[in-house]
Amino acid sequence: MLMNNNNQKLKTLYLLKVLMEKTDEEHPMTVNDLIDELDRFGISAERKSVYSDVELLKTFGVDIVCDKTRTNNYYVASRDFELPELKLLVDAVQASRFITHKKSNELIKKIEKLTSVHEAKELHRHVIVNDRVKTMNESIYYNVDAIHNAIQQNRMVQFKYFDYTVDKRLKFRRNGEVYCVSPYALTWADENYYLIAYHERYKDISHFRVDRMSEIMVSENMRPIISEFENFNVADYSKRVFSMFSGESEKVDVEFNNSLINVVIDRFGKDVHIHSKTEECFRITVEVATTDAFFGWLLMFGDKARIVAPFHLIGSMKAYLQNVLHMYSLD
């Protein structure tokens, strides 16, 4: 416990702490309540001094309302974040696959401190039903921060890259070789964070799942200037590399049933080129990485989506379907 004279100097700050943590519109506090709370911190206060400190806090910019009934009831009326906004933040944290359960809980507890203890209970109940699959890589939270720092400092990034075995164990690629790449950006796609970077090995842009990166370090080496990629467009790259699977990209014409217009706009954006519209279907022209991932995505829609051009890609889709059919025809 601090000495009393020091406590008196901190009285206004402790009063702010009590008001922020314990009051809201549904839970105001009387002057006597505030005096009792201050007493818990070893601070004695008179009614007149509490009135004076409240006015001081209001002048400072704290939105304190006095609801005058038989007694003066004080509460903080507005904060940096309203309760619906905090619920959105909590939802985002809880729904993010790349944040582990442990880190999600830590972040949510911090978010709860942005409102009163009473409203914080609503936030806790709001997320308790959610039980999503989360990443197993506890260090991803710090990996993202390290990569941001590397981009800002214009430095290379070093890391090891791994996959999971069928035994759920880590297996480093290239026998644990350290990757050293020039980071361009972090992007979010299909519920995962990806690092987009120039890789000297391939003389080209590559991408890496951040939750599959280990022992990440910001290198002392500065990023080289690659003239070919000085005007590199991250958004265009993300659109071409469909679902973040690498492969040759090309322009493709796809025909969709009209019922799938929302799906198409969600995937390719409102600027997608739509043409050849009829009462039943429409066509789009997009540039994508024409991989099995693309074929698999189209097959989600059954007979409501088909490749129209180029002709050789129609053949690739047929071969893909035949391979799948053959797998199911085996004894």
Per-residue pLDDT reduced to its tens digit, 89-98 = 887 887 777 7
Q: Are residues 118 and 147 in the same domain?
A: no
- 132: in domain: no
Per DSSP, the residues of 211-248 read: GGEEEEEEEEEEPP--GGGTT--HHHHHHHSGGG----
pLDDT band at 140 (very low <50, low <70, confident <90, very high): confident
Residues 65 and 87 in one domain: no
Q: Which residue has the tokens 């969600």?
A: 266
Say which CATH number the domain at 206 has: 2.30.30
Instruction: Give the C-alpha separation, 267 to 189, whole Å.
Output: 11
Rounded CA-CA distance 11/255 in Å is 70
Residues 166 and 213 in one domain: yes
Q: For the chain, what is the domain count?
A: 4
State yes or no: pLDDT of 177 exceeds 90: yes
Question: In terms of DSSP H, where are the helices of the chain?
Answer: 4-9, 11-22, 31-40, 47-60, 83-95, 101-112, 117-127, 140-153, 234-240, 261-268, 292-299, 311-329
Residue 268 sits in which domain range?
243-329
319, two tokens: 């071969």
Q: Residues 271, 203: one domain?
A: no
Asked whether residue 235 is domain-assigned, the answer is: no
Q: Per-residue pLDDT averaged across 211-225, rounded?
A: 88
Instruction: For residue 238, tell me if it sits in a domain.
Output: no
Both 250 and 216 in one domain: the answer is no
Say what the pLDDT of residue 160 is.
94
Q: What is the pLDDT of residue 99?
A: 77
In a domain, 106, yes or no: yes
